[in-house]
Copies of this chain bind each other. A is one copy, B any other.
Amino acid sequence: MRDFISVKDVISIEEMLTSAKSIKVNPYEDSGIGKNKTMVLLFFNSSLRTRLSTQKAALNLGMHVIPMNLSEGWGLEFDDGTVMNMDKAEHVREAAAVISQYADIIGIRTFAGLKDRELDYADRIIRQFAACASVPIVNLESAILHPLQSFTDLFTIESYRKKKRPKVVLTWAPHPRALPQAVANSFLEWMQQTDYELVVTHPEGYELAETFTAGCTIEYDQRKAFADADFIYAKNWSSYQEYGKILSTDSDWMVTAEKMTLTNNAHFMHCLPVRRNVVVADAVIDSDQSLVIEQAGNRAVIAQAVLKKILENLKG
């Protein structure tokens, strides 16, 4: 593993889950491994959990961390051969190569524009940074993937798994704004590395890209999907078919305490931030079955496991 862009970059998930378990118990046991190493975090979009958890993880490993906000005015050109006489001040070729001069690892956060599906699904900001950088790239959520989140989700489910093959349900939930599909896509990608019973439920029109749903059970009736579930993972996303559109804000899709009674006393999960009483009712997120805070805490654990692996490979 040089880069950590998608699940495909991980050689052994099992080995990394074991590493994460150990990190959770003793987060400072590898504090020498990152000595004199610097991680630069580039934020094209805002971030709270990812920013703090990645910084914490890198600091625990003894690294230096330099976060930079690029949201304002740093127009990057991604096309080759263009005459750059418009609003783009720098080409990704120089930007990525130059930052590689000062960083040992580069983290990148960039959301989908939700206007041009082909463009978003090429995931080109992170892909081109990886192509032009001479150091490892870590995906802090890209246009279509959020692997640090989904690896955390897997780790969290593993911690609470009580049977060999738990039923895990990814349920769409309403939201007032159009959100990317990144968390849902990645969740499916990582869950399919397991032997869980995986069900996706959403209104018609909210089908995710086939690359991610191939092999999944899709159930349009949310209540049927919830039956005997061990984990309910709620998340909103905008339509992939009618790209970036909000097709429904139907509050019938909110996760409620009554619906949770259909499950096998399921744990409730969400990547946060969450709109209370829109995505999930207070009674569910505030219940003992809610894992959302520990799940968020696990973000730092997984980030540390990923950075540790990358640092080991740098040295090796």
* A residues lining the B interface (CB < 8 Å): 27-28, 31, 36, 38, 40, 46, 48-49, 51-53, 55-56, 59-60, 64, 66, 68, 72-74, 77, 80-86, 89-91, 94-95, 97-99, 101-103, 176, 249, 272-278, 282, 292-293, 296-297, 299-300
Q: Which of B46, B55, B292, B296 contacts A74 (CB 8 A)?
A: B46
Q: Which interface residue of A51, A89, A276, A299 has the most chain B CB atoms within 10 A? A: A276
Determine the distance from Cα of A303 to Cα of B62 in the docked complex, in whole angstroms. Answer: 23
Q: Which single member of B40, B51, B81 contacts A282 (CB below 8 Å)?
A: B81
Is the pair A84, B276 in contact by a Cβ cutoff of 8 Å? Answer: yes
Contact among B52, B80, B81, B95 for A102, CB-based, below 8 A: B52
**A276–B77 touching, CB < 8 Å:** yes
Cβ–Cβ contact A38 & B66, under 8 A = no
Contact of A56 among B38, B82, B97 (CB under 8 A): B38
Central interface residue in A64, A98, A99, A282, by most chain B CB within 10 Å = A98
Cα A74 to Cα B277 with chains together (Å): 19
Of B249, B273, B277, the residue contacting A82 (CB under 8 A) is B277
Taking a contact as CB atoms under 8 Å apart, the answer to whether B36 and A293 are in contact is no
For the complex of A and B, 8 pairs with smallest distance between CB atoms: A90-B273, A101-B297, A84-B275, A52-B102, A98-B296, A83-B277, A56-B102, A85-B176
**How far is it, in angstroms, between the C-alpha of A56 and the C-alpha of B66 when the chains are bound?**
9
What distance in Å separates the Cβ of A234 from its nearest Cβ neighbour in chain B?
13
Tell me the complex Cα distance, A41–B52, Å: 11
Q: What are 26 A-B interface contacts by the 8 Å CB criterion?
A: A27-B36, A28-B36, A31-B36, A36-B60, A38-B59, A46-B73, A48-B74, A48-B98, A49-B98, A52-B66, A52-B68, A52-B102, A80-B282, A82-B277, A83-B276, A83-B278, A85-B275, A86-B176, A91-B274, A94-B274, A94-B292, A94-B293, A97-B296, A98-B296, A101-B300, A102-B297
How far apart are the CA atoms of A97 and B249 in the complex, in Å? Answer: 28
- Contact B51 A89, beta carbon cutoff 8 Å: no
Q: When chains A and B are docked, how far (Å) is the Cα of A60 from the Cα of B77?
A: 31
Contact A276 to B82, CB < 8 A, known contacts A38-B56, A46-B74, A102-B53:
yes
CB neighbours (8 Å) of A300 from chain B are 101-102
